[in-house]
Each structure stands twice: as structure tokens, then as C-alpha cells.
Amino acid sequence: MEITNIKDCLKFRLLRKIKPDLEKAGKSLDIARKKISSSETALKFNIANFTILDAYLAMFHAARAVLYKDGIQEKSHFAIFIYLKEKYVNEIPLFVLNLLNVHRVERHEVMYGLEYEPKKEDALTALKDAKLFVKEIERILKV
């Protein structure tokens, strides 16, 4: 089973329709901003894995804000990427959308991988990319 579009995500309940919720969208964006801050703190202490995890969580919560605004609940991190790529490719540059997926995979490796040892450069990249991604989400949500 290959899931490649929103229709598939809805069919397999990786995404589901809900009532649009601007309050939850705002809260999720607030969490994204806090995760940027905690990612910066982890970087100051040279804790690359926490920097990467919080940078990704910033991106996740920013993306989730868009879904809440649109009336979509996620049940899969990958489904969020599919949704944004299909619905927002004309509003958010594709390379920025792809950052979500790149760091989703990296987050998985940090959490569950047996071989990956992130370096400071990896953490710096994750944080830089998260800031860009959150900024793009704020731009399209006009906040």
C-alpha cells in the first residue's frame, strides 16, 4: 500500500476532516515558537539530538496549525507532509515543504536509529530549517 495523496490519507484515516479550529491553530503555532526557543537552548548546550528533535517539533506544530485552520486532524507525521505538499505547493516553496519531510526522517533516526549520531552541524541545519519553515507558515497564516 503506497499512500501518495490526500485522498489516500483520508481513506486510511491518516488524516480526517474536523471542524476548522482557529484556536487550536493558534495554540499549535505558539508551541512551534516555543520549540524553536527550546531548540536554540539545546544548541547552546551542544545537545545536538535535542536541538534536532525540538526543531522538527517546531515544524510539526507549525504545519499542524495549517491543518487545524483547514479543518484537518492528522494521525500521521508523513500525512501532514502529503497534505501540505498537495494543498500549499503554490503558496509555500517546494524546497521549504520538503524540509518537513527531511527532518521528519532525521527525527526518526535520532529517536529510534542505532547508527545516527548527530553533530553540531546537523543541529544547526535543523534549527535554521525549522526557523525558515515556521516563518513560511506564519506568512501564509498571516500572523
Percentage of residues in the chain having pLDDT higher than 90: 98
**Distance (Å, rounded) from C-alpha 143 to C-alpha 135?**
10
Reported as a single tens digit per residue, the pLDDT across 60-86 is 999 999 999 999 999 999 999 999 999
- Range 20-34 average pLDDT: 98
Phi, psi of 12 (to 5 degrees): -95, 10
The answer to whether the beta carbons of residues 39 and 126 sit under 8 Å apart is: yes
Q: Residue 127 pLDDT more than 90?
A: yes
Q: Domain coordinates of the chain in residue numbers?
A: 19-141
User: Could you tell me the pTM of the whole model?
Assistant: 0.96
Start-end of H helices in 12-93: 22-44, 48-70, 77-87
User: Cα angle vertex 54, ends 78, 117, to 5°?
Assistant: 85
- Of the candidates 67, 71, 73, the residue with the CA atom closest to the CA atom of residue 20: 71
Q: How confident is the model at residue 143 (pLDDT cuts 50, 70, 90)?
A: confident
Reported as a single tens digit per residue, the pLDDT across 92-109 is 999 999 999 999 999 999
Query: Of 1.20.120.330, 3.30.56.10, 3.90.190.20, 3.40.50.300, which CATH number belongs to 19-141?
Result: 1.20.120.330
**Distance (Å, rounded) from C-alpha 10 to C-alpha 7?**
5
**Distance (Å, rounded) from C-alpha 89 to C-alpha 100?**
13
CB atoms closer than 10 angstroms to residue 97:
19
**Distance (Å, rounded) from C-alpha 127 to C-alpha 56?**
8
In three-state secondary structure terms, 90 is coil
Q: Residue 19 pLDDT more than 80?
A: yes
The answer to whether the beta carbons of residues 109 and 116 sit under 8 Å apart is: yes
Instruction: Provide the pLDDT for residue 6.
Output: 98
Q: What one-letter code names the amino acid at 109? A: E
